[in-house]
């Protein structure tokens, strides 16, 4: 449980400077130092669509052209214009990233060959519980590619996704409402209201409700969320932001279709391979966060954030485990899983900008401490006719699911994680052409697990159910940027990260995993960034990601893992911004070669291609402003073939999906938007979880939305 002394200390840090008056973004900066003025500029630039100069996830006010790392950002405006409703939609338009099925109840992604359910952040803090993250309250989403434990700690072997939330502003009062409905009956409504209380204080409320539906049989659900925030400009140098978010999500768990003869089963893109009454998921999340920004001196600023979150997540499902096309039989499996988690995380950052002789420094010094307590249990399905967790039945549409229940617990554990870290980084501007970046992070990760099943079984097998491990890791980051001109940079980068043996959800340990060292990731990268104009940027990178002591789902038993090494080599590029004052573009391309390493069969090296990683991905979105009232958009997604798992037995075919949109400004306050997804009704399979859980893409789908400002 969380220690009262830690909670009290965290609150004390937040309130430390609560004794001065007025720092809202509308306040004058005349009485502030140059560094403070730069900090305000960094905060207020958030609304930029393209040409975004800074990213919150970097923790320093560093312009992107001086960052030795690939990074993509999508604003709330772009998400709305392209009709995005999920993190998966965003990732499909991100070079080097692809979506996973997530077993139909969570966000899951692969970045630079590294699959994860936990490398998600919100305002720079870890958000690792398995659920679908809504987009209703976001200013933008930042996708940072390449291992970088210095900024984010454990995990993030291929990169991370950071959501930047909307905050209250005292500059003005406004309200925006949006309503949306699509072809399949899915709909949502959202509200964004900002109230300026006075020159220093403001309150903002974001809320939304969504009715879930799509092209799949028996799929439905609903979710809603509210996110009030309060900001207080305590004085010219100090600002406090407090927010609370509640998310409630209930939906069907849909794990797609099985495979036959090495490809997705044909002719059943809408068939639900589960039980509508048993395939359900629910989550309730409460997230409370407070952040204090303070300008100490002209050269130094600090910020402290404390976040407490409480998650109650459960899901259960029946799903396809195998399909025999010749015998027309289907094998079913299933389980029931529940997780309760409480997170308390405190993060402190200090940023200094100063000179030593003719050399300019931007120094980041930070620390993070967290406690994460999780209760998790799982029950297997138990089919009455087979008296087993699996059963083989004759295939029919809809399925005739035989009588099924659930066993006693097959997993029942409590994990307590305590982690602490300290990091320091220096961005050293030698001259106008050369910048060096160097830093280190120290992490201590302490996990204790109580396995109730092993405790009940006794210690005769040398396992008393009380397991634990402490890992201490030092993660470096090195980078060099050469700038032949102010608008062009070439960079080199080396960065590392790690993942403890308890995995990205740290649910359990065993005697064998307890003895193993953490997984290690190393990212080597060279790249180019070019600001072609004030509104158009081009980036490209060559990279290699090595993973040692890694894990992957065992193709023979997807509920177990294999230990292996991997290597991903890749190339990516992105063009983002305004080609002309009327034509906006977002184009991305990536080429990935992802292989396991060190596999020997019959004395011969026999490395396999990693699953769920398309070799080639290309995306393009164009928006053209025809007049003050009319605009249109057109785009496409191309995704090459990909294997569904490490055994390379099943392959998803390549596909090209074309999307379009029309925008009409009915008045200064009312906008109407029409999005058409999959314009040419392409049959495609965007993602999978394993060989027999394959997602089917939606056929042509129209969305109509109306936005009203008042």
pLDDT tens digits for range 641-665: 999 999 999 999 999 999 999 999 9
Rounded CA-CA distance 218/63 in Å is 48
Measured between alpha carbons, how far is 46 from 73 in angstroms, rounded to an integer?
Answer: 11
What is the per-residue pLDDT for 21? 34
Domain region containing 315: 4-709
CATH classification of the domain holding 347? 2.40.170.20
| CA–CA gap between residue 160 and residue 122 (Å, rounded) | 11
pLDDT at 48: 32
Count of alpha carbons within 13 angstroms of residue 442, beta-carbon side = 4
Q: What CA–CA distance (Å, rounded) separates 149 from 440?
A: 9
pLDDT at 598 (0 to 100)? 84
**Residue 461's pLDDT is what?**
85
Q: What token pair was written down for 685?
A: 């399979």
Task: Give the closest residue to 545 by CA, choosing from 117, 161, 154, 158.
Answer: 158
Task: Specify the DSSP class assigned to residue 397.
Answer: S
Q: Which residues touch 643 (CB under 8 Å, ≥6 apart)?
A: 609, 610, 611, 612, 613, 649, 650, 651, 652
Instruction: Read off the DSSP letter of residue 63.
Output: -
Helical ranges in 539-690 per DSSP H: none
- SS3 label, residue 38: helix
The residue with tokens 């979880």 is 689
Residues 686 and 692: beta-carbon distance below 8 Å: no
What phi, psi does 12 have (nearest 5°)?
A: -65, -40
pLDDT computed for residue 556 by the predictor: 60
Nearest residue to 337 via CA among 314, 312, 319:
314
Q: What is the pLDDT of residue 337?
A: 96
| Other residues' Cβ atoms within 10 Å of the Cβ of residue 43 | 16
Residues 683/697, Cβ–Cβ less than 8 Å: yes
Say if CB 410 and CB 560 are below 8 A apart: no
CB 362 within 8 A of CB 424: no
pLDDT of residue 462: 84
Q: What are residue 676's phi and psi, to 5 degrees?
A: -120, 110
Tally of CA atoms within 13 A in the half-sphere of 407 that contains its CB:
18
Q: Which pair of structure tokens corresponds to residue 647?
A: 């055994």
Output the pLDDT for position 604. Answer: 87
DSSP 64: G
d(C-alpha 117, C-alpha 397), whole Å: 32
* pTM as predicted: 0.89
Q: Which helix (DSSP H) or strand (DSSP E) does residue 524 occupy?
A: strand 519-533
- β partners of residue 313: 283, 339
Beta strands in 259-298 (DSSP E): 259-260, 263-264, 280-295
The residue among 170, 294, 300, 303 whose CA lies nearest residue 232 is: 170
Ranges of residues in the chain with a pLDDT under 50 are 3-52
Residues 690, 264: Cα–Cα separation, whole Å = 11
Please give the Cα distance from 611 to 651 (Å, whole number): 9
Asked if residue 69 lies in contact with residue 144, where contact means CB atoms within 8 angstroms, the answer is yes
Token pair belonging to 571: 């190339």
Q: What is the dihedral of CA 228, 232, 233, 237, to 10 degrees?
A: -100
Measured in whole angstroms, the distance separating CA 372 from the mean position of its chain's CA atoms is 19
CA 206-201-176 angle, to 5 degrees, is 30
Nearest to 291 by CA among 346, 225, 245, 342: 346
Eight-state DSSP code of residue 463:
-
User: Which one, of 16, 24, 7, lies nearest residue 296 by Cα?
Assistant: 16
211 by DSSP, 3-state: which?
A: strand
Residue 548 burial (CB count, 10 A):
17
The answer to whether residues 563 and 569 touch, using CB atoms and an 8 Å cutoff, is no
- CA–CA distances in Å: residue 159 to residues 108, 210, 461, 514: 13, 29, 39, 26
Q: How many domains does the chain have?
A: 1
Instruction: Write the CA distances from 129 to 192, 310, 340, 688, 690, integer angstroms.
Output: 26, 10, 10, 20, 21
Output phi, psi for 674, to 5 deg: -125, 115
Please give the pLDDT value at position 518: 87
pLDDT at position 239: 97
Q: Burial of 102 by CB count in 10 Å (0-12 exposed, 13-18 middle, 19+ buried)?
A: buried
Q: DSSP 3-state assignment of 314?
A: strand
Cis peptide before 398 (omega within 30 of 0): yes
Q: Both tokens of residue 655?
A: 């596909």
d(C-alpha 206, C-alpha 174), whole Å:
12
Can you say whether the dihedral through the CA atoms of 577, 579, 582, 587 is positive or negative? Answer: negative
């Amino acid at each position: 449980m969380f220690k009262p002394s830690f909670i009290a200390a965290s609150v004390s840090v937040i309130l430390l400077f609560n004794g001065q008056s007025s720092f809202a973004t509308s306040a004058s900066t005349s009485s502030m130092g140059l560094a403070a003025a730069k900090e305000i500029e960094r905060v207020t630039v958030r609304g930029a669509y393209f040409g975004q100069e800074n990213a919150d996830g970097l923790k320093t006010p560093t312009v992107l052209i001086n960052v030795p790392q690939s990074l993509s950002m999508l604003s709330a405006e772009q998400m709305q214009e392209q009709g995005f409703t999920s993190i998966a939609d965003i990732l499909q338009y991100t070079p080097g990233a692809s979506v996973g099925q997530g077993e139909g109840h969570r966000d899951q992604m692969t970045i630079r060959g590294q699959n994860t359910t936990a490398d998600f952040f919100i305002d720079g803090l870890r958000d690792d519980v398995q659920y679908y993250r809504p987009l209703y309250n976001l200013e933008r989403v930042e996708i940072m590619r390449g291992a970088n434990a210095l900024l984010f700690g454990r995990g993030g072997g291929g990169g991370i996704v950071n959501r930047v939330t909307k905050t209250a502003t005292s500059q003005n009062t406004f309200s925006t409402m949006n309503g949306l409905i699509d072809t399949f009956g899915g709909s949502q409504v959202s509200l964004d209201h900002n109230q300026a209380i006075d020159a220093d204080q403001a309150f903002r409320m974001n809320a939304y409700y969504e009715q879930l539906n799509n092209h799949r049989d028996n799929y439905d659900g609903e979710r809603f969320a509210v996110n009030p925030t309060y900001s207080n400009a305590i004085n010219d140098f100090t600002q406090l932001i407090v927010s609370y978010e509640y998310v409630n999500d209930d939906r069907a768990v849909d794990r797609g279709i099985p495979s036959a003869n090495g490809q997705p089963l044909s002719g059943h893109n809408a068939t639900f391979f589960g039980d509508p009454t048993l395939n359900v998921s629910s989550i309730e999340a409460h997230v409370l966060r407070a952040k204090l920004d303070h300008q100490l001196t002209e050269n130094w600023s600090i910020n402290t954030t404390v976040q407490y979150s409480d998650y109650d997540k459960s899901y259960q499902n029946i799903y396809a485990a195998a399909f025999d096309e010749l015998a027309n039989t289907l094998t079913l499996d299933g389980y029931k899983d529940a997780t309760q988690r409480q997170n308390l995380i405190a993060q402190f950052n200090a940023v200094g900008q100063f000179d030593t002789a003719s050399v300019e420094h931007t120094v980041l010094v930070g620390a993070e401490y967290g406690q994460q307590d999780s209760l998790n249990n799982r029950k297997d399905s138990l089919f009455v006719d087979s008296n087993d967790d699996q059963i083989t039945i004759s295939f029919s549409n809809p399925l005739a699911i035989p009588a099924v229940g659930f066993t006693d617990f097959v997993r029942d554990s409590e994990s307590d994680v305590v982690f602490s870290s300290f990091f320091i980084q220096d961005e050293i501007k030698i001259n106008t052409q050369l910048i060096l970046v160097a830093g280190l992070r120290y992490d201590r990760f302490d996990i204790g697990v109580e396995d109730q099943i092993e405790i009940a079984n006794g210690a005769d097998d040398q396992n008393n159910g009380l397991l634990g491990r402490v890992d201490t890791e030092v993660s470096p980051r090195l980078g060099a940027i050469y700038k032949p001109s102010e608008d062009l940079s070439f960079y080199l980068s080396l960065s590392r990260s790690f993942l403890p043996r308890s995995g990205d959800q740290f649910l359990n340990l065993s005697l064998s995993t307890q003895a193993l060292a953490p997984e290690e990731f190393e990212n080597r990268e060279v790249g180019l960034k070019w600001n072609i104009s004030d509104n158009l940027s081009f980036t490209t990178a060559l990279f290699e990601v090595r993973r040692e002591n890694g894990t992957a789902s065992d193709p023979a038993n997807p509920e177990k893992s294999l230990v292996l090494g991997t290597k991903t080599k890749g190339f990516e590029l992105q063009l983002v911004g305004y080609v002309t004052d009327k034509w906006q573009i977002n184009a991305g391309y990536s080429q990935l070669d992802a292989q396991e390493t060190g596999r020997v069969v019959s004395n011969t090296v026999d490395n396999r291609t990693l699953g769920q990683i398309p070799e080639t991905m290309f995306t393009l979105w164009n928006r053209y402003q025809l007049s003050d009232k009319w605009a249109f958009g057109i785009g496409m997604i191309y995704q090459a073939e990909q294997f569904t798992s490490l055994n390379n037995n099943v392959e998803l075919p390549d596909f090209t999906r074309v999307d379009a949109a029309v925008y009409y400004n009915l008045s200064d306050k009312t906008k109407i938007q029409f999005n058409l997804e999959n314009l040419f009704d392409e049959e495609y399979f965007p993602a999978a979880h394993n060989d027999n859980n394959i997602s089917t893409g939606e056929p042509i789908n129209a969305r109509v939305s109306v936005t009203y400002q008042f």
